[in-house]
Amino acid sequence: MLIAQLFDPVALAIVGGGTVLAAVLRAPLRDALGAVSALRVLARRPFRADALLDQIAAQARIAKRHGVVALDRSVIADPDVAAAIAAIVDGGNPREVEALLRYHRQARIARHVAIAEVWSSAAEAAPAMGMVGTLIGLASMFASMTDPKAIGGAMAIALLATLYGALLANLVLTPICHRLRAAGRIEAFERARIEAPLLALALRETPRHPLQSVA
């Protein structure tokens, strides 16, 4: 019974719709769509680079036995590893491969940050939308002072909108933002592990170019 009393579709529409609109207006459409797609990450295990390291080791064995050109026939699903292997096959030196890997890693980090910012901005907007709903409810209440039956509904909108804004921000949006940021940090750390073996593979294929850095 209490749950039914705490449900008001008008207040929910004001807070929910206003929060979504504010988040979309603050971010490019691509980032907003990416933020929705990123929800799938929450159901997955944290990213681990072990499978990629095994795949790179297998590529190194193929290159040792059959030459680096044989890597061109390999099917690699991960875009970062695929780009690095393609650069090595094309004769790229370790410095070029290192720059390519850093670019891909930084671009991925930038995407993760942009997506987390969408959820962060939504968390910031939700309490404000709750206050908007409260003001709308109070305005409706004062406008219907001569109708006692309408006062209760308007007061419910005013109070529940504030409640919805606080709950939405603190129990839904902020936790999503924090979990996506944590997942992004873990993936960035794990992907840094694949740089050294890829650079070592590039170095073996182009021994004339000294390896400047594996960081």
Q: What is the pLDDT of residues 29-72, one digit of tens each?
A: 999 999 999 999 999 999 999 999 999 999 999 988 888 888 88
pLDDT mean across residues, the chain: 89
Q: Tell me: the pLDDT tens digits for 117-175?
A: 999 999 999 999 999 999 999 998 888 887 777 888 888 899 999 999 999 999 999 99
At 160 the pLDDT is 94
Structure tokens at 130: 């709750």
> Given pLDDT bands bounded at 50, 70 and 90, which one contains residue 213?
very low
DSSP 46: P
CB 130 within 8 A of CB 140: no
d(CA 124, CA 187): 26
Residue 209 C-alpha from the chain's centroid:
37
Burial of 138 (0-12, 13-18, 19+ CB in 10 A): middle
Q: How much is the pLDDT for 178?
A: 96
210: pLDDT confidence band, cut at 50, 70 and 90?
very low
Of 15, 6, 11, which Cα lies nearest the Cα of 158?
11
pLDDT at 2: 64
DSSP class per residue in 47-103: P-SHHHHHHHHHHHHHHHHH-GGGGGG-----HHHHHHHHHHHTT--HHHHHHHHHH
Q: What is the pLDDT of residue 211?
A: 44
Distances (CA, A) of 133 to 11, 16, 119, 158, 172: 6, 10, 21, 6, 19
180-209 tens-digit pLDDT: 999 999 999 999 999 999 999 988 765 444
- Chain length of the chain: 215
| pLDDT band for position 78 (cuts 50, 70, 90) | very high
Global pTM value: 0.83
